[in-house]
Structure 1
Amino acid sequence: MTDAPAPFGTAPDGSPVKIAKITAGDVTARVMSWGASLVDFRLGGVPLVLGCDAFDAYLGPMRYFGAIVGPVANRIAGGRMVLGGQRHDLDRNDAGRTTLHGGSDGFGTSNWRIVDLTDSSVALALHRPGGLGGFPGSLEVEARYTLDEGGALTLDIAATTDRETVFAPAFHGYWSLDGQPDLGGHRLTVAAETYLPVDSAKIPEGAPQPVARTVFDHRTPRTPDPGIDHNFCLSTERGTLRHACTLEAGGLRLEVSSTEPGLQVYAGAKIDSAPFPGHGGAPHGPNAGIAIEPQGWPDAVNRPDFPPVVLRRGEPYRQTSRFAVTRID
């Protein structure tokens, strides 16, 4: 019998935050309603994503850990965009310069509703009013986490809107496969020939550039550069589930596939979860985990040369990402 969602905390608006557990074989996952966040993912009882058992951590230093961020993940330059000939000023919640992860009231800082729960899957829903954070169009969003018989985790995100808007959410979990304080033992391979250079505000500059002869060349396995926080260009279109990257450490291999055209990789240089401990009992420090975020390209709302992120009334949206962890023989 499936256990009912358990209390986990109280959101700033007073609503209860719930947490649900799903299982398949020796893989377990826990998902909380705040941010529709994956707070725990374990293979054989070993934690593989950074998280905390205290809800208050997610209101402070662990904001966005494991969350679904949006309605547009990553950054929008200057906190403004033009859609259908109309300018929209957005919430500039990132140092007053850019809009980050949908603004202060984005998906990752909203309390979703758990609408379906089985032994191996959980679905969460969110209604986002039009105009919130400056984004036009109300949204009906559903996110479903599913564990298959082999223990792979699939995340499906679906949405509709009542008015033309922009929509490009992302999963923002941090992975650590060996439980060590940093990523020194990890090897990352990314299926991308190009990446997006960025300016001091993390906004893309110019066209995609070749990864060859740079620290971004992960066409063969290498340890991630500690300062990496960039988009890898997987494709110029979305919709087909394709291999994105492989991460290996501690005798484990994580294979990530996604329908999205970009893969933001952030090596966690600014992680500092103190005073809150992670699942291993100690606070997380810099480079304790790596965020692997399938998504649209950053600032695509202002770049007609990038894959589009416009969602129109009557058009259903669907995004799928698959995270499969296996033991290396």
Structure 2
Amino acid sequence: MPRTTTKFGELDGKSVALHTLENANGMRVKLSDYGAGITSIGVPDGKGGRAELITGFDSLDGYFGEAYRANAPYFGGTIGRYASRIKDGKFSIGGESYTLAVNDGSNHLHGGIQAFDKRVWQSEGVGENSIKFTLHSPDGEEGYPGNLDVSITYRLTEDNALEMHFAGTTDKATPLSMTNHAYFNLSGFTETIHGHTARIDAAEFLTPDETNIPVGERTAVAGTAADLRKATKLADALEHFPTGFEHFYAFAPPTTSAPAAAPPREVAEFTHPASGRKLAVLTTEPGALFYTGYFTSDELKRENGDQFGRYRAFCFESSRYPNGPNLPGVTDAVLRPGESYSATTIYQFTF
């Protein structure tokens, strides 16, 4: 079906567009110029209606509401320059030290204060069911070095996959790790995520320090409640974590010697047995943060009444390693002039 574009709202006197992709199966995805974000993923519910599978709002105003701004949950946004946290907002490249904007205690989180998810991107259609967003990030923005040009291309396929390809180039070495921050509830927000099952193909997660940042150690999941290598009901797993999951799982390396050229591989599957809906995640990235939404405000809801909040949705954010610029042996956290950043993640749905 043809791509459509409508007005999503206005920001600083300029119109912000909303783009809708729909396939022949009735799966519908909505994407906003604001944050190059996913605002809606809807699928037929088998009853003549449509089930909404992610958190978000139906107009731009929702992302500027008092409760949303206070809670800052990053619903569906494109995250950058660097996903997750950088310890103390500091790193060094080639002997030169940099200090970033600090917005999470003593640390830098998800690109800083006015990061990619809070910018209006340029958009263009690149196919009947595909759209490309581009953004220029100037040298010094949020403390990062280098003039950076990035893009994300979304494509909705006829087999119900939402493909995302991230790309970037720079004129000076700079950290870069982009991801999408969608929150999923495969029940269609009729219940919490406790009835979901999760399978994550990772034998280790990165061990966080007291400020929740990896500093180089890893923890084996074997024998722990964090072992999700076999499908596990989230209600059972969550009993062991007072504030839920916020674990960065490290996947097995790709089978080729060039990770950027390796095809996306399936690393996780989430199911809602009561509805039969499934979400498989395929990615080229070395790991992903699994977050079960403990800190999401219960005051947040979609305009139609879909209730968001604690344990109402989960994230699976594939990316380079958190705090990557400061971790020994991590070579893919910094993009250099002449190189091309490339990452692909696919959300494959069954309904």
TM-score past 0.5 threshold:
yes
- Is 1:316 the counterpart of 2:321 in the alignment? no
Unaligned runs of 5+ in 2: 45-49
Alignment: residue pair count: 324
- Corresponding residue number in structure 2 for 1:264: 289
- Is 1:247 the counterpart of 2:257 in the alignment? no
Identity of aligned residues (%): 29
After superposing on structure 2, the runs of 4+ consecutive aligned residues of structure 1 that deviate more than 3 Å are 1-4, 235-238
Report if the CA contact (8 A) 1:296-1:307 is conserved.
no
Describe the shift of the 1:265–1:280 C-alpha distance in structure 2 as closer, same or farther (beyond 3 A): farther
- Corresponding residue number in structure 2 for 1:100: 109
- Corresponding residue number in structure 2 for 1:142: 151
Report if the CA contact (8 A) 1:227-1:269 is conserved.
yes
Describe the shift of the 1:219–1:170 C-alpha distance in structure 2 as closer, same or farther (beyond 3 A): same
**Secondary structure of the corresponding residue to residue 61 of structure 2:** helix
The CA deviation at 1:4 is 4.8
Report if the CA contact (8 A) 2:165-2:344 is conserved.
yes
Describe the shift of the 1:192–1:156 C-alpha distance in structure 2 as closer, same or farther (beyond 3 A): same
Give the 5 Å matches for 1:135-214: 135-178=144-187, 179-214=189-224
Take 1:247 and 1:4, find their aligned partners in 2: how far apart are those partners? 30
Give the 5 Å matches for 1:43-54: 43-44=43-44, 45-54=50-59
Give the 5 Å matches for 1:1-329: 2=2, 4-11=4-11, 13-25=12-24, 26-44=26-44, 45-59=50-64, 60=69, 61=71, 63-95=73-105, 97-116=106-125, 118-178=127-187, 179-224=189-234, 225=238, 227-236=244-253, 238-239=259-260, 240=262, 241-249=264-272, 250-272=275-297, 274=299, 276-278=300-302, 281-327=305-351
Higher helix share: 2
Letter matched to residue 19 of structure 1: L
The CA deviation at 1:281 is 1.3
The CA deviation at 1:63 is 4.4
Take 2:61 and 2:72, find their aligned partners in 1: how far apart are those partners? 9
Deviations 1:224-269 (A, max 9, x none): 4351111000145742211110000031111100000011100000
Report if the CA contact (8 A) 2:216-2:328 is conserved.
no
CA RMSD of aligned residues (A): 1.8
Report if the CA contact (8 A) 1:248-1:254 is conserved.
yes
TM-score w.r.t. length of structure 1: 0.93
**Secondary structure of the corresponding residue to residue 149 of structure 1:** coil
TM-score w.r.t. length of structure 2: 0.87
**Secondary structure of the corresponding residue to residue 208 of structure 1:** strand
The CA deviation at 1:184 is 0.8
Query: After the TM superposition, which of the residue ranges 251-260 and 177-186 deviates more from structure 2?
Result: 177-186
Report if the CA contact (8 A) 1:38-1:66 is conserved.
yes
Take 1:98 and 1:62, find their aligned partners in 2: how far apart are those partners? 15
Report if the CA contact (8 A) 2:78-2:117 is conserved.
yes
Report if the CA contact (8 A) 2:245-2:290 is conserved.
yes
The CA deviation at 1:15 is 3.1
Describe the shift of the 1:46–1:195 C-alpha distance in structure 2 as closer, same or farther (beyond 3 A): same
Take 1:210 and 1:322, find their aligned partners in 2: how far apart are those partners? 26
Take 1:193 and 1:46, find their aligned partners in 2: how far apart are those partners? 33
The CA deviation at 1:123 is 1.1
The CA deviation at 1:76 is 0.1
The CA deviation at 1:130 is 1.0
Take 1:173 and 1:148, find their aligned partners in 2: how far apart are those partners? 18
Report if the CA contact (8 A) 2:73-2:296 is conserved.
no
Letter matched to residue 323 of structure 1: Y
Report if the CA contact (8 A) 2:80-2:117 is conserved.
yes
**Secondary structure of the corresponding residue to residue 34 of structure 1:** coil
Describe the shift of the 1:14–1:273 C-alpha distance in structure 2 as closer, same or farther (beyond 3 A): farther
Take 1:140 and 1:146, find their aligned partners in 2: how far apart are those partners? 20
Describe the shift of the 1:280–1:212 C-alpha distance in structure 2 as closer, same or farther (beyond 3 A): farther
Describe the shift of the 1:284–1:87 C-alpha distance in structure 2 as closer, same or farther (beyond 3 A): same
Deviations 1:187-244 (A, max 9, x none): 0000100001213321114411101122210001113435111100014574221111
Query: After the TM superposition, which of the residue ranges 66-75 and 212-221 deviates more from structure 2?
Result: 212-221
Report if the CA contact (8 A) 2:35-2:121 is conserved.
yes
The CA deviation at 1:17 is 1.8
Take 1:100 and 1:174, find their aligned partners in 2: how far apart are those partners? 17
Letter matched to residue 108 of structure 2: T
Letter matched to residue 347 of structure 2: F
